[in-house]
A and B are shown apart, each in its own frame.
Chain A
Amino acid sequence: MAAKDKTATSPGSRRRRFALRKNWDYLIFVIPVVLYFLIFCYGPMYGVQLSFKRFNPAMGITASPWIGMDNFTRLFGSYQFSRILTNTLVINLFKTLISFPIPIILALMFNEIKRERLKRTFQTITYAPYFISTVVFVGIINLFLAGENGYLNHILDIFGFGPIPFLTDPHYFPGVYIGTDVWRNAGWNSIIFIAALSSVDPQLHESAQIDGAGRWKRIIHVNLPCLLPTIVIQFILQMGKMMTLSYERILLMQNSLNIESSEVISTYAYKMGLINMDYGFSTAVGLFNNVINIILLLAANKLAKKYSSGSLF
């Protein structure tokens, strides 16, 4: 409670202390939440030290021997390192540029449908692909895109385009990944924006309508500004995921022909770390990833603060 005494000295903090005294009742809500984070998130965090250790299960995490930066040198020293880093960033960049805005557009379009039942049916259809398990999802990708027999190549054939080796040419991998990602997740990701749109005050629309604003104008001047805080937050969070890709799907889509562009940090870590039960190494990869993620997140947050109303902190 030493903190309290110190706060009393500066004038700015007096207001805060007053605020605390007046608003102490927030603590009833906050304390259980903080307890959860302390016990289940901060409690196990001592495991992070494994990045600098050679894990010996019988000795446990704290007693395992320190090996300094060995795990990191191994990661950075691999001939694959620059490649997997580039692949990870390229895929995520496309994700930010393409997969991120599409759900917003989708939500704005759905919002224009006034027939409730139709709207609900369409939305349920667009979010349904989210429930297809990864294995079958990749199976469907194969069915539609594989070799000369894929459905899509049949269609391209009709229009006179030669078969495109979607799955076996490394150049197509990021495109295939993003395209299928949009197919699977766009509907699901739009839900949050649809919810935000539903809270737009109808009066705003009415008065805009009276002013003679058309649908397009109302989207730009009424809906979008209302969505902005949500968009900004989602964008910041997306920036905090720039180094992350789930290995499961990529591993299934990977083959020896496209590996050049499909090997990313997570699949590499999976192969090197988790298969050999090398917990130290996989923790180190995770730590490296997350440090960069945090830097990007903080940068995005700073930008958002400077140029818009919403920000994370």
Chain B
Amino acid sequence: MQAVSNKIKESKGDRLFLIVTYSLIGMLVLIILYPLIHVVSASFSDPKLVVTGKIGLFPKGFNLEAYRRVFMNEEIWIGYRNTILYTVIGTVVNIALTMMGAYPLARKNFPWRRGFMVFFTITMFFSGGIIPMYLLVKNLGLYNSMWALILPTAINVYNMIVARTFIESTIDEQIYESAYMDGCSNIRAFFSIVLPLSAPIIAVLVLFYAVYHWNSYFEAMIYLKDRSFYPLQLFLREILVMNQSDNVMMDSIETDSSKFLVAEGVKYAVIIVSSVPILMLYPFLQKFFVKGMMIGALKG
């Protein structure tokens, strides 16, 4: 911690402040980390010990059965491929449309922007529910295709508002003014000013949308029929509930508690397998936060 106070000489108060901040963050990270390590350890442990709460920080009864079960399942790989495809295409569509909506809403010279805002916000509160949506998807011919997962969720109003707020509060009116002086149209201003300056918010949007696509299963469950189109989450859910108690008890040739217990270990392995790739996204995207700041610095 000492090493941080460098370059410019910091006052005593600042040093104290930093120490407090660092210790708070340190404590917080520990609190958050402990259960996380537990999940990782549990995924490598003997499920019996997991259930009885014997696993602390380190795996006990080291055991790869859960991972074997997850990876032996060839459908997992099909699911991975599909999920990556849906996430990439879906996110591109999301970002494009969201920014296209957010930009005019953030501009004072766009007439009726309040009206549009109301028009968009209403949809956060009133939806027709699942039945009309299903019929719509079916009638548009999207059923059992990738687009059923992408088009109906192409814009999230919440994200659009977030983007609008960012554009509105970080990009100075003067910058537009000088661009207009140079004969710049609103469209060109979007590409030459707004997009570059919005790097941090686009990074956030990518994160929000990509994570949404990565984790979503409900649309897939309803709109997809062919197993070869299933995303990862659907296959994982299937593994997850496999051997779950209630039904098995009813009618089964052999009911053995060890089977429930395997499922217990699988629960943890599934989390690791499904979240690690998407967790990697943050450190990568965070670079754009910094980049955005640099451009922000240049503008002055």
A contacts, CB < 8 Å to B: 16-17, 19-20, 22-23, 25-26, 28-30, 32-34, 36-37, 39-48, 50, 61, 106, 109-110, 112-116, 120-133, 135-136, 139-140, 143-144, 149, 151, 183, 187, 191-192, 194-196, 198-203, 209, 214-216, 226, 229-230, 233, 237, 240, 279, 283, 286-287, 290, 293-294, 297, 310, 312-313
Q: Is the CB of B283 within 8 A of A120?
A: yes
B53 / chain A contacts, CB cutoff of 8 Å? 143, 149, 151
Q: Is the CB of B297 within 8 A of A202?
A: yes
Apart from A109-B21, A135-B240: 12 A-B pairs, beta carbons within 8 A: A39-B136, A40-B151, A44-B135, A44-B136, A110-B25, A112-B21, A127-B282, A128-B275, A195-B166, A202-B297, A230-B165, A283-B129
Binds A, one of B197-205, B224-232, B249-257: B197-205
Q: Is the CB of B297 within 8 A of A201?
A: yes
Q: Is the CB of A23 within 8 A of B286?
A: no
Give the complex CA separation of A50 and B201 in angstroms. 38
> Provided the pairs A22-B109, A25-B186, A191-B204 are in contact, do residues A129 and B166 lie with their beta carbons within 8 angstroms?
no
Place the interface of chain B in its size category.
35 or more
Q: Is the CB of A50 within 8 A of B32?
A: no
Q: Is the CB of B158 within 8 A of A237?
A: yes
1/0 per position for B6-47, CB-CB distance to A under 8 A?
Answer: 001011011001100110110011011101101100000000
Give the complex CA separation of A210 and B161 in angstroms. 36
**How many A-B contacts at CB < 8 Å in the complex?**
247
Q: Is the CB of A37 within 8 A of B187?
A: no
Secondary structure at chain B's binding surface: helix, strand, loop or mixed?
Answer: helix
Q: Which of A30, A33, A115, A226 contacts B155 (CB 8 A)?
A: A33
A-B contact pairs, 27 of them (CB 8 A): A22-B109, A29-B101, A32-B97, A40-B133, A41-B123, A42-B123, A43-B128, A44-B129, A45-B126, A47-B127, A61-B131, A109-B21, A113-B25, A116-B290, A120-B282, A120-B283, A125-B29, A133-B267, A133-B271, A195-B292, A198-B293, A199-B292, A201-B297, A214-B11, A286-B129, A313-B114, A313-B117
Secondary structure at chain A's binding surface: helix, strand, loop or mixed?
Answer: helix
Chain A's nearest CB lies how many Å from the CB of B155? 6
Q: Which of A16, A20, A36, A135 contacts B97 (CB 8 A)?
A: A36
B275 / chain A contacts, CB cutoff of 8 Å? 128, 131-132
Chain A's nearest CB lies how many Å from the CB of B160? 8
Give the complex CA separation of A196 and B25 in angstroms. 20
Chain A's nearest CB lies how many Å from the CB of B57? 11
Q: Is the CB of A37 within 8 A of B133?
A: no
1/0 per position for B268-300, CB-CB distance to A under 8 A?
Answer: 101100110011001100100110110011001
Q: Which 10 A-B pairs have the closest CB atoms?
A: A47-B128, A44-B128, A44-B132, A131-B275, A41-B123, A33-B101, A198-B289, A229-B169, A195-B200, A47-B132
Q: Is the CB of A290 within 8 A of B32?
A: no
Q: Is the CB of B207 within 8 A of A44?
A: no
Q: Is the CB of A140 within 8 A of B35?
A: yes
Give the complex CA separation of A47 and B200 in angstroms. 38
Give the complex CA separation of A197 and B283 in angstroms. 17
Q: Is the CB of A192 within 8 A of B31?
A: no
Give the complex CA separation of A198 and B203 in angstroms. 12
